[in-house]
Amino acid sequence: MTTQMRPQIKYAITFVAVLLLALVPLVFPGYETGLATQILIYALLAMSVDILAGFAGRTPLCHGAIFGVSTYVVMYYVTTLGGNPWIGVLLGIAAAVAVSLIFALLAVRTTGVYFLLLTLALGMIVWGVCVRWTSVTGGENGLRGTARPEWLADPATFFYFVLAVALLMSLAMWRFVRSPFGLTLKGIRESESRMRSLGYNTTLHLLIGFMFSGLMAGMAGALYAFFNSFVSPSTVALAQSVKGLLMAIVGGVGTLFGGVAGSALLIILENVVSSYTERWSMVLGLLFVLTMIFAPEGMVGAVRSMLGAGKAKSPKN
């Protein structure tokens, strides 16, 4: 009986969380709905980072660039060329996957701090291109315009659309990390040499994992183009990649859905604290330090540990 309780608790928490999210436009039909939409989009970015950082043992600092490339392509195709928004989304996702493939080919053979620094450098190259290629990207002025289809113009309608897409993408990522392929990535995280000696092509697995992670980041970037109606070099800057990584770490690396908790906490704190002080980044930095000291496994990881401790202390039937 005890072994069946934990999955039931997980499903119950997921159901309650989705139900509370669905009530947001009804209870808070204004600024808070937009904030919840932003949280969902960044949660997808954080989860895409966690696929590599938590399950493959490769911590990237380039996903903000992949995210932003998709946003740029959608905005350019729809607002500058006047194209169909949904074709723009497909092109944005395709561009994100292509960039992910290039990054992966260059980075997957490295590990640890070398992988971190190489992906950081690759992301900075994308930022430099967006700053200098003014005829396409608009340079520092960026691209502005409404990329969202008319039927999604209402904030509540758009929120429910983003929620539905986020649920489907989350399910896809959950299935991916729990599949035999995802278990292979975990094995590579624990000992790449052991997996290689067992006959696994670890480079190919990491390459595919990187591309799938980039696909998810690209889908989040396409949603961001609909949400923000503006893109500039700051969208692909290092700060964007760091933001996604911090959300994954604060929520819990290796938990996948910790990205949702991390995104909610950081975005809410950013908006609340910035209304009181311009030094809100110091507060977020302090939060990160405290998380590393007192809950290195993140918010979701800490909750799991507490539930596991409670289960261990419960008397056996």
DSSP the chain: -HHHHHHHHHHHHHHHHHHHHHHHHHHSTTHHHHHHHHHHHHHHHHHHHHHHHTTTS---S-HHHHHHHHHHHHHIIIIIS---HHHHHHHHHHHHHHHHHHHHHHHTT--HHHHHHHHHHHHHHHHHHHHH-HHHH-GGG-EES--S-GGG-SHHHHHHHHHHHHHHHHHHHHHHHHSHHHHHHHHHHH-HHHHHHTT--HHHHHHHHHHHHHHHHHHHHHHHHHHHSEE-GGGSSHHHHHHHHHHHHHH-TTSSTHHHHHHHHHHHHHHHHTTT-TTHHHHHHHHHHHHHHH-TTHHHHHHHHHHHHHHHHSPP-
- Is the Cα torsion angle 64, 69, 72, 73 positive or negative in sign? negative
Indicate the pairing of strand 230-231 with strand 143-144.
antiparallel
| Cα distance between residue 57 and residue 59, in whole Å | 6
> Token digits for 159?
């929120």
Amino acid at 151: W
Amino acid at 162: V
Q: What per-residue confidence (pLDDT) applies to 173?
A: 96
Q: What per-residue confidence (pLDDT) applies to 30?
A: 83
Q: What per-residue confidence (pLDDT) applies to 308?
A: 62
Cβ 130 vs Cβ 68: under 8 Å:
yes
Q: What per-residue confidence (pLDDT) applies to 3?
A: 38
Q: What per-residue confidence (pLDDT) applies to 257?
A: 87
| CA angle (30 as vertex; 27, 35 as ends), nearest 5 | 95
Other C-beta atoms lying within 10 Å of the C-beta of residue 165: 17
Which of 254, 247, 232 shows the shortest CA–CA distance to 58? Answer: 254
Cβ 211 vs Cβ 50: under 8 Å:
no
Residue 143 pairs with which residues in a beta bridge?
Answer: 231
One digit per residue, pLDDT tens: the chain, 317 residues? 333 346 677 778 788 888 888 888 998 888 899 999 999 999 999 999 999 999 999 999 999 999 999 999 999 999 999 999 999 999 999 999 999 999 999 999 999 999 999 999 999 999 999 999 999 999 999 999 999 999 999 999 999 999 999 999 999 999 999 999 999 999 999 999 999 999 999 999 999 999 999 999 999 999 999 999 999 999 999 999 999 999 999 998 988 888 999 999 999 888 888 777 777 778 778 878 887 787 778 888 777 777 665 555 555 54
Which residues fall within 8 angstroms of residue 52, CB to CB, at 6 or more apart? 58, 59, 60, 209, 210, 213
| CA angle (29 as vertex; 26, 31 as ends), nearest 5 | 145
